[in-house]
Amino acid sequence: MGNVLVVAEVADGKLRKTTHSAVTFAKEAAAQLGGSYDILVIGAGVDGAAADAAKLGAGKVLVADDASLTNYLAETYAPTVAEIGKGYSVVCGTASPYGKDLLARVAGKLDAGFASDITSLLPQEGGKLTYKRPIYAGNAFVVCQLASDVEIVTVRQSAFDAAAEGGDSPVEKAAVAGASAAKDRIEWVNFNSVKSERPELAEADVVVSGGRALKEQFYEILDPLADVLGAAIGASRAACDAGYCAPDLQVGQTGKIVAPGLYIAIGISGAIQHLAGMKSSKVIVAINKDEEAPIYQITDYGLVADLFKAVPELTEKIKAAKA
């Protein structure tokens, strides 16, 4: 019997939707271990996030709230997570930049095995949890087990459905551990985030992505379609590197991993690095004039056409249908 701890991700005092996927994994893992799962909310001024976490059916919600945790640094967060986490069989979070950075440090502090980017939990073998994770940009998968007493895991958000709200978990205050010695060598400068009225790319239900073929007309072509669909905008690495759009829009192995209900790839050929970031989308649509483009190998619907004509026409057709 063993229990699971979910390390929640918080932004601007609110629980991020990425946490819901980690909770779904925790439910599966706890069921196999014959235990339960708890959620740890850590930061400063996180009462709102804790209230949201309490709706996710956990055994309890632990809140580590302290002014010293105002700005995220692994050197200040990891000691608290490690101290609380050593009482659990599994400590998990989402494989976001936050989760990968923090939980790798936690694994080091606990001398624990670390499995990142888990896409599924397989039936136990030999009484141990068995994980499946991608390698080679998702072109192959490996199955692994961790031999340590505490197992540290990050899960790919696109591979686990968001946990539904339901329940009212008790909320308990957790002690905050002192920062690690490395904190003395770290200085917080600032955090510059991109503000947008569009949905967050990694959490959007609809994503419209553009490639290098759009050139300087990237936003001119994509903005109207994204507006009518209420979609987030994404991009290929080639489009970002060429300076046609902001770098934070990149979808792919070295960008953001997305799994919306609808992904529309416009002028994107489909390099394996890009496919690794979006091929878990529920419905994939591609518009590209090259009928041999690799993107068509994974699409549900494809249109071989000049995107500069097809996309504006599609936008107008959707507007008319919605009207």
**Torsion angles phi and psi, residue 302, rounded to 5:** -135, 145
What pLDDT score does 86 carry?
Answer: 94
Give the whole-angstrom CA distance, residue 279 versus residue 260. Answer: 10
Find the CATH number of the domain harbouring 252: 3.40.50.1220
Same domain, 150 and 10: yes
Same domain, 34 and 150: yes
Same domain, 223 and 173: no
Element (H, E) at 225: helix 218-229
265 domain-assigned: yes
82 domain-assigned: yes
The crossing angle, in degrees rounded to 10, of helices 307-322 and 218-229 is 20
Same domain, 10 and 147: yes
Three-state DSSP class for 323?
Answer: coil
318 domain-assigned: yes
Tens of pLDDT along 146-191?
Answer: 999 999 999 998 888 889 888 889 999 999 998 888 888 888 888 8
Same domain, 154 and 277: no
Of 185, 210, 243, which residue sits at a domain end? Answer: 185
Least confident of 55-64, 131-140, 239-248: 131-140
The crossing angle, in degrees rounded to 10, of helices 74-85 and 97-110 is 60
248 domain-assigned: yes
Of 185, 212, 229, which residue sits at a domain end? Answer: 185
Give the whole-angstrom CA distance, residue 152 versus residue 10. Answer: 19
Same domain, 179 and 248: no
What pLDDT score does 194 carry?
Answer: 67
What pLDDT score does 105 carry?
Answer: 95
Same domain, 157 and 283: no
Q: Does residue 301 have a pLDDT over 80?
A: yes
Same domain, 224 and 171: no
Of 155, 185, 215, which residue sits at a domain end? Answer: 185
Q: Does residue 87 have a pLDDT over 70?
A: yes
64 domain-assigned: yes
Same domain, 43 and 164: yes
Q: What is the mean pLDDT of the chain?
A: 92
What pLDDT score does 138 carry?
Answer: 75
Average pLDDT over residues 137-150: 90
Same domain, 244 and 168: no
What pLDDT score does 1 carry?
Answer: 75
Q: Rounded to 5 degrees, what angle do the CA atoms 147, 148, 149 make?
A: 125
72 domain-assigned: yes
Three-state DSSP class for 301?
Answer: strand
Looking from the CA of 32 toward its CB, the CA atoms found within 13 Å total 19
DSSP-derived pairing of the beta strands 120-125 and 128-135: antiparallel
Tens of pLDDT along 184-242?
Answer: 888 888 887 767 788 888 889 999 999 999 999 999 999 999 999 999 999 999 999 99
Same domain, 175 and 211: no
Same domain, 42 and 163: yes
Q: Model's pTM, two decimal places?
A: 0.83
CB neighbour burial string for 41-79, b if at least 16 within 10 angstroms, e if fewer: bbbbebeebbbbbbbbbbebbbbbbbeebeebbbbbbbb
Find the CATH number of the domain harbouring 92: 3.40.50.620
- How many structural domains comprise the chain? 2
88 domain-assigned: yes
Q: Does residue 104 have a pLDDT over 90?
A: yes
**234, β-bridge pairs:** 209
Is 45 or 280 the better-scoring residue by pLDDT? 45
Average pLDDT over residues 20-29: 95
194 domain-assigned: no
Range of the domain at 115: 4-185
Q: Nearest-CA neighbor of 63 among 72, 54, 55?
A: 54
